[in-house]
A and B are shown apart, each in its own frame.
Chain A
Amino acid sequence: MRMPMLSVANLRKNYGDTVAVDGISFEVGPQEIVGLLGPNGAGKTTTINMILGVLQPTTGTIQIEGIDIGTHRSEALARANFAAVYAPLPGNLTVYQNLRIFGLLYGVDNLAVRIEALLGHFGIEKLRDVKCGLLSSGEQTRVSLAKALLNQPQLLLLDEPTASLDPAAARDIRLRIREFVTQGAGGILWTSHNMHEVEDVCDRVLFLSGGRILLEGNPRTLPVEHGRKTLEELFIAVAREPLALGTD
């Protein structure tokens, strides 16, 4: 059995008396897309920030491809990358300049070749000398994803990657992310509020509420298992009646 790309154990984050993440454990396997779902304030972004090393857990461990982020931060983060709608690349640098700088930060070999390949893959060759601050939402998302794939990460974290995109652009982005999984060995942790997208893309979902994992399973069968017709209905139930579902 291959080592998980991400292994989270007993992860907890307290802000004073407030518990943002309450002892969660989960894994993301190779070539697996795991959806991290939950209402606003459930602890999704807090969890992602801890995995990215920008937020220190109160307790618990995070391993990326077996490397503990707490004790070997640089080595662990070199195997991961992320894209989030709330973390756009600096708008005063061009697409190429941003990719070059982040490529150096991630220690990418043959960087020039890799950048050209990603510009082609995401259809943004014509934008290479355009400052990122001048790009449309869809173009910025493509550039963020190109940055996220620069180091061919073993773990890709995507926080609402298709938010603010039109349906056609969102579908195109989903296809390209799917390609990343099928053509490599990496795994993806994906957050989204679009349940149709989650059903389409994710192999497994974790429902988070109040900092705890309430439900876990296949997004296509999980609603029926819990007496709901769709994943969206299940999501709404988690948001409104987390205690009832947690004891199902």
Chain B
Amino acid sequence: MSGSRIAAVVLRQLYLMRGSPARVIPLFVWVAVDVVLWGFITTYLDAVTSAGFSFMPVLLGAVLLWDFLVRVMQGVTIAFFEDVWTRNFLNIFATPLSISEYLAGLVFSSIVTSSAGLVVMLVLATAFFGLSFLAYGPSLLAVLLVLFLFGTALGIFSSAVVLRLGPASEWLIWPVPALISPFVGVFYPLSVLPEWMRLVSHVLPPSYVFEGLRALVSGGTLSATLMLWGASLSVFYIVAACWCFARMYRHAVQTGLIARYSAETVS
């Protein structure tokens, strides 16, 4: 792997953000909107429910961590879409850049953009609603790691889908986190789900994160075993997503789709 080629993919994203407020503002605005909206909802719920239970870490904390996962996924897909939108596949894939370098560049781009959103989220939640993520202690790092890895897997898989189906399939990608969220128990414990949904939740790494968080704020501890299981599943999904992307790329090279991508299909 060449560091300079990976850096080129990241640099492209930094250049685009530097020259375009339309790309920078969404990194912060949606996070800020979620903090404000869910901050007031949880404040209200805390006021009308019995004393002794705080919704703040359970609801606001969970929503913001889910937001982080979504930002990670979008960080990968948007960096990929930049090549789709500018019809740049022919230029970029005719260079010595390998697929593993390209994917690494997309992931590093996502680290930059999702980290920016995470910092804003931490500052706003602490400053306006007194929710300190630091109160989770070292567990927070494990939680963020699992969510980052799974968000990365979703981003790479989504990019593979768009590479295979063409630019118009972009709309299929944006609702993916919303489709997953009911199964992973962002707002409620998995025990309220019907059996078949719980079976699905067992293979989704964020389920372990949000169950663990609820145990943590209830005075328990975050299970290291569950976090390890979540991280392992996430790594498995990253490997599977990379395999899927590489396969879609090979298909595109065999059929000529890379060179005629705007046509969406060569069949």
Contacts of A46 in B (CB 8 A): 256
Do B96 and A105 have beta carbons less than 8 Å apart?
Answer: yes
Do A77 and B258 have beta carbons less than 8 Å apart?
Answer: no
**Of the residues A52, A91, A105, contact of B86 by C-beta under 8 Å:** A91
**Of the residues B11, B19, B256, B258, contact of A101 by C-beta under 8 Å:** B11
How many whole Å from B120's CB to the nearest CB in chain A? 25
A75 contacts the other chain (Cβ, under 8 Å)? yes
Do A102 and B95 have beta carbons less than 8 Å apart?
Answer: yes
A residues 41-92 with Cβ under 8 Å of B? 45-46, 49, 52-56, 73-75, 77-78, 82, 84, 86-87, 89-92
A94-B89 Cα distance, complex, nearest whole Å: 18
B198 contacts the other chain (Cβ, under 8 Å)? no
A243 contacts the other chain (Cβ, under 8 Å)? no
Do A90 and B96 have beta carbons less than 8 Å apart?
Answer: no
Do B91 and A106 have beta carbons less than 8 Å apart?
Answer: no
Do A55 and B96 have beta carbons less than 8 Å apart?
Answer: no
B15 contacts the other chain (Cβ, under 8 Å)? yes
Do A105 and B256 have beta carbons less than 8 Å apart?
Answer: no
A15-B263 Cα distance, complex, nearest whole Å: 16
Assess A89 versus B15: contact at CB under 8 Å? Given A54-B259, A73-B96.
no
A104-B92 Cα distance, complex, nearest whole Å: 11
Select from chain A the residue with minimum beta-carbon distance to B253: A56
B residues 116-139 with Cβ under 8 Å of A? none
Select from chain B the residue with minimum beta-carbon distance to A45: B259
**Of the residues B5, B94, B96, contact of A54 by C-beta under 8 Å:** B94
Select from chain A the residue with minimum beta-carbon distance to B6: A104
How many whole Å from B17's CB to the nearest CB in chain A? 11
A93-B15 Cα distance, complex, nearest whole Å: 7
Give the number of A-B contacts (CB < 8 Å): 91
B37 contacts the other chain (Cβ, under 8 Å)? no
A174 contacts the other chain (Cβ, under 8 Å)? no
Assess A15 versus B266: contact at CB under 8 Å? Given A55-B258, A87-B90, A105-B92.
yes
A100 contacts the other chain (Cβ, under 8 Å)? yes
Q: 1/0 per position for B87-108, CB-CB distance to A under 8 A?
A: 1111111111110000000000
How many whole Å from A108's CB to the nearest CB in chain B? 9
Do A89 and B16 have beta carbons less than 8 Å apart?
Answer: no
Do B86 and A90 have beta carbons less than 8 Å apart?
Answer: yes
Do A92 and B16 have beta carbons less than 8 Å apart?
Answer: yes
Contacts of B50 in A (CB 8 A): none
A45-B259 Cα distance, complex, nearest whole Å: 10
**Of the residues A74, A78, A92, contact of B20 by C-beta under 8 Å:** A92
Contacts of B82 in A (CB 8 A): 90
Do A105 and B98 have beta carbons less than 8 Å apart?
Answer: no
Assess A101 versus B94: contact at CB under 8 Å? Given A91-B86, A107-B5.
no
Do A104 and B259 have beta carbons less than 8 Å apart?
Answer: no
Q: 1/0 per position for A114-140, CB-CB distance to B under 8 A?
A: 000000000000000001000000000
Do B2 and A102 have beta carbons less than 8 Å apart?
Answer: no
A218 contacts the other chain (Cβ, under 8 Å)? no
A149-B95 Cα distance, complex, nearest whole Å: 13
Assess A107 versus B2: contact at CB under 8 Å? Given A89-B91, A90-B88, A101-B11.
yes
Assess A104 versus B94: contact at CB under 8 Å? Given A55-B259, A92-B19.
no
B7 contacts the other chain (Cβ, under 8 Å)? yes
Select from chain A the residue with minimum beta-carbon distance to B8: A104
Do A87 and B91 have beta carbons less than 8 Å apart?
Answer: yes
Do B90 and A54 have beta carbons less than 8 Å apart?
Answer: yes
A97 contacts the other chain (Cβ, under 8 Å)? yes
Interface residues of A (CB under 8 A from B): 15, 45-46, 49, 52-56, 73-75, 77-78, 82, 84, 86-87, 89-94, 97, 100-102, 104-107, 131
A78-B96, A94-B15 are known contacts; what are 9 more A-B pairs with Cβ within 8 Å?
Answer: A45-B259, A49-B256, A54-B89, A54-B94, A74-B98, A75-B96, A86-B90, A90-B88, A92-B20
A-B contact pairs, 24 of them (CB 8 A): A15-B256, A46-B256, A52-B90, A52-B94, A53-B94, A54-B253, A54-B259, A55-B253, A56-B250, A77-B94, A87-B90, A90-B12, A90-B82, A90-B88, A92-B20, A92-B86, A93-B12, A93-B15, A94-B15, A101-B15, A102-B8, A102-B95, A105-B96, A107-B5
Interface residues of B (CB under 8 A from A): 2, 4-5, 7-8, 11-12, 15-16, 19-20, 82, 86-98, 250, 253-256, 258-259, 266
